[in-house]
Amino acid sequence: MFSIPSSLGMLHSQSVQLLCLTASSGVPLFCRGSTKQLPFSIIGSLNGVHMFGTGHDAALSCCETERGGRVLWRVFHDSLMLIGISSNADVSELHLRRLLENAWNCMVLVLGLDELANTRNVERLKRELRSCYRLIDMLLERGMDDRDGDRGLMGDLTHCADCILFPQADLLQETLDAFTRAAESEFGCLLVRGRLAVATEKWWRLAPQELVLLSALANLPPGKTSCDCPVFLPQGSPNVALRLLCFQLLPGAIACVLCGPRPSLYHVENEQVCRFWSPVVENLRSCLDQAKRSALSPSVGLRRDVLALLLINRESRRSVESLGHACSKATPLLSPARRWELLRLFYTFAATRYFSSEESPSSERPTAELLHEEFSAGFTHLPVHCYLVTDECKCYAVQTPQHQLFLLTDLSVPTFALRSVATHTLDAVTTATGF
């Protein structure tokens, strides 16, 4: 591994790079993430060391450098290899691992499994893969250089669907159900500022990873009014394409349906959209207003020293993230972007070190990664609380059979009080919202 680590310095300090090669022949298919592409010789060596391992019956999955650089390899369906490379210690192994899974799922979503698993013509595949770049780049930017619209979306990391909670969602739910039926579908959802506000029962039954990617794909930029994208569901329908229809009702409020060959985009847009959604336009407006402030309904009273929180419902695999009121004077003032970043880092810290049981062993993940934990290796019990004090904030995580809460508070909260702040917050949020 000698020459690789030093070359990682060539990456921009914040960057993560993603390489895709054919697994058998090592032909590079694409490289995303950095403005400066890695030289071919390095791509070759990265593939070479992995191949060397395979030749000796050893699976090379990850390597770290002394300065915090990290490389992760993974082969999907014996056909394509994805390599994730970061030069920054803040980019965790979990982040990279998720990135590879998500990137693969994106590729399946856009092109279908058959196209990827049975490569017939490499040049053609290379061309087809270009249609995935937009989605892959969006994922690469998450948690790195958050654009405004994406602030605080964490589903790519948690593999839970990012949700937003509204006090009176019944009317929207009814409207969505009726709209979805009219579009000859059972799968429909309403996204508000990139988060799931309401969805039909069937939509919730899609795999959480699929929900995360569909939300990302459906999140049209303001100004685009609708789209009709062929999608393959990585778990639900990897070889038969469905159509994802999205309609920007108001800037930031998007209704989506998954359907078969009918009805046409033109028909739904011109016949159904106004008919169903015009009567609730004021509700949508007030949802958008609320969403500007928080993903939690206004009825939830958060303590003033809460900086940010992430609440996961473990059963339904849904999550809500929110920033606190941020009127504290005690700590160094943390920008919203920094608070989101810290929340992601703390989630990664707690989820990989202490709540690792949550890390469901996915089908193809090498078992070696499960044994990474030094803490759980030495103890027989599973931790249910953990905390961390840094020079920017204090962090506390609680795990119950139903929920996980990750909380950031400012430094003014006494460390001994963190536990009760966290349990109270968990109670307050779950009681007020029924999440």
Q: How many angstroms separate the CA atoms of 367 and 198, rounded?
A: 36
We find the least distance from the C-beta atom of residue 247 to other proteins, in angstroms, to be 6
Task: Fill in the amino acid letter for 262.
Answer: R
Q: Is 230 in the site for other proteins (CB under 8 A)?
A: yes
Q: What is the end-to-end Cα distance of the chain in Å, rounded? A: 47
We find the least distance from the C-beta atom of residue 209 to other proteins, in angstroms, to be 18
Q: Is 292 in the site for other proteins (CB under 8 A)?
A: no
We find the least distance from the C-beta atom of residue 246 to other proteins, in angstroms, to be 9
- Residues 6+ positions from 89 with CB-CB distance below 8 Å: 67, 68
The dihedral of CA 341, 346, 348, 349: what is its sign? positive
Total residues contacting other proteins by CB under 8 A comes to: 42
| Residue in 12, 147, 205, 275 binding other proteins, rule: CB under 8 A | 275
Question: What is the crossing angle of helices 336-353 and 93-111, to 10°?
Answer: 100
Q: How many angstroms separate the CA atoms of 351 and 333, rounded?
A: 26
Q: How many residues does this entry show for the chain? A: 435
| Residue in 49, 75, 110, 116 binding other proteins, rule: CB under 8 A | 110
> Taking CB under 8 A as the rule, which mask of x and - marks residues 168-207 in contact with other proteins?
----------------------------------------
Q: Is 358 in the site for other proteins (CB under 8 A)?
A: no
> Taking CB under 8 A as the rule, which mask of x and - marks residues 240-269 in contact with other proteins?
-x--x--xxxxx-x-------x--xxx--x
**Closer residue to other proteins in complex, CB, 229/432:** 229
Q: How many angstroms separate the CA atoms of 92 and 239, rounded?
A: 32
| Residue in 133, 303, 385, 388 binding other proteins, rule: CB under 8 A | 133
Estimate to the nearest angstrom the gap between the alpha carbon of 363 and the chain centroid: 19
For other proteins, the binding residues in 364-403 under the rule CB under 8 A are none
| Residue in 12, 127, 205, 424 binding other proteins, rule: CB under 8 A | 127
The dihedral of CA 231, 258, 139, 141: what is its sign? positive
Coil, strand, or helix at residue 65? coil
Q: Is 323 in the site for other proteins (CB under 8 A)?
A: no
We find the least distance from the C-beta atom of residue 108 to other proteins, in angstroms, to be 13
Q: How many angstroms separate the CA atoms of 181 and 175, rounded?
A: 10
Q: Which of 118, 132, 112, 125 is nearest to 234 (CA)?
A: 112
**Closer residue to other proteins in complex, CB, 221/414:** 221
Coil, strand, or helix at residue 53? helix
**Closer residue to other proteins in complex, CB, 284/421:** 284
CB 312 within 8 A of CB 403: yes
We find the least distance from the C-beta atom of residue 433 to other proteins, in angstroms, to be 27
Q: How many angstroms separate the CA atoms of 154 and 311, rounded?
A: 11
Q: Is 223 in the site for other proteins (CB under 8 A)?
A: yes
State the number of CA atoms in the 13 A half-sphere of 99 facing the CB. Answer: 31
Task: Find the part of the chain contacting other proteins (CB under 8 A) among 79-87, 143-151, 221-229, 347-355.
Answer: 221-229
| Residue in 7, 22, 173, 226 binding other proteins, rule: CB under 8 A | 226
Residues in contact with other proteins by the rule CB under 8 A: 110, 127-128, 130-131, 133-135, 137, 217, 220-230, 241, 244, 247-251, 253, 261, 264-266, 269-270, 273-275, 277-278, 281, 284
